[in-house]
A = this chain, B = another copy of it.
Amino acid sequence: MDKFMEAAFEEAKKGYEEGGIPIGSVLVHDGKIIGRGHNKRVQKGSVILHGEMDALENAGRLSAKIYQECTLYTTLSPCPMCSGTILLYGIPRVVIAENKTFMGEEELLSSRGVKVLVTHHEGCYQLMQQFIKEKPGLWNEDIGV
């Protein structure tokens, strides 16, 4: 398994252990993780810190050039907010562990030239299924349902 997706999955599991929403992400530049994060809705009462957003926020302020050389790994198909952020910063590649739990804006990303790869990662899917069974209301809140 890809070591970067493994790191994103570790973030997701951390989120689960904290009682939060188990979605994790890492931002990779030049073969190195420069930002990692997981959903912080519960932990920080945040409505914008999805896993991808947390990873980008933790990466800090970067020049456009750096973003344009990055790959974003995420354990779940990115929602409209996270997809819009990928477009804002011109991140050219997104690797997604699974989109069975939730289908994000993959078509929008592709239509704007972002390379989208789905790896169909069973562990990420099972963790989300477990979480949604336990806390369906929390999950719905996170996706605006």
Distance to closest chain B CB from A12 (angstroms): 19
Complex Cα spacing A61 to B84, Å: 20
Give the number of residues in A that approach B within 8 Å (Cβ atoms). Answer: 34
Give the secondary structure class of A's interface.
helix
Whether A47 lies near B41 (C-beta < 8 A) is no
> Is A83 part of the binding interface, using a Cβ–Cβ cutoff of 8 Å?
yes
> Is A125 part of the binding interface, using a Cβ–Cβ cutoff of 8 Å?
no
Distance to closest chain B CB from A47 (angstroms): 6
Contact with B along A91-123 (1 / 0, CB 8 A): 000000000000001001000000000000000
Distance to closest chain B CB from A139 (angstroms): 12
* Chain B residues closer than 8 Å to A81, beta-carbon distance: 81, 84-85, 87-88
From B59, B108, B140, B144, A88 is in contact (CB under 8 Å) with B144
Whether A89 lies near B144 (C-beta < 8 A) is yes
Whether B85 lies near A59 (C-beta < 8 A) is no
> Is A67 part of the binding interface, using a Cβ–Cβ cutoff of 8 Å?
yes
Whether A60 lies near B80 (C-beta < 8 A) is no
Whether A64 lies near B144 (C-beta < 8 A) is yes
Contact with B along A42-71 (1 / 0, CB 8 A): 000111110001001101111110010000
> Is A145 part of the binding interface, using a Cβ–Cβ cutoff of 8 Å?
yes
8 A-B pairs within 8 Å (CB atoms) are namely A45-B61, A48-B49, A48-B56, A63-B141, A81-B85, A84-B84, A88-B143, A90-B144
